[in-house]
Amino acid sequence: MLALAFLVVACAPIATPTATPRIPSTPAPGQHDRAIAAAEAQTRMRLSQPKELPAGSQLTRVALVNEQPPTLDLEYLIAGSQVILRQRPAQSNPQFPADAQPVELDGLTAHGVLRVSRDGQPVGVELYWTRDGMDYMLGGGLAPEQMAKIARSVIRPGTS
């Protein structure tokens, strides 16, 4: 059973720490595994990836966005919409946005924000959670149910 409840707030950008562009940010077609391996080597952490992506989804960017704590973005193009999976080692206070409301995603406890335009139209969903020693943020313009499905499928290598 999927239970989603979101606080609707005015549109605001996702806060991004100071960029440190050492990893090539846009992998060439066929070079995604190499870009992910380079990011893992630089940060000395294994990257979590979603196992459930809609058909036709493409990884478009791998980027180190903060060095301390090491924070990486995997950016996807899914059904014409940009979706970002941000991850870092879990912090004792992950500082999820104050406007994020608790949501239950079929066993995954998360916090969610539904972003809307000034005229009240949905423009994006952000989901925040901690699991398997990592803090995550999944943000994008897909429907909340699609974002929840992707979030539930994010698994750390070596965990079940």
The string of pLDDT tens digits covering residues 52-82 is 999 999 999 998 898 889 999 999 999 999 9
Average pLDDT over residues 105-121: 90
The pTM of this model reads 0.80
pLDDT band with cut points at 50, 70 and 90 for residue 106 = confident
Residue 22 has a pLDDT of 46
Residue 140 has a pLDDT of 96
Where does 7-155 sit in CATH, by number?
A: 3.30.200.100
Domain range summary for the chain, segments of one domain joined by +: 7-155
Residues recorded for the chain: 160
Report the alpha-carbon angle 4-5-10, nearest 5. 125
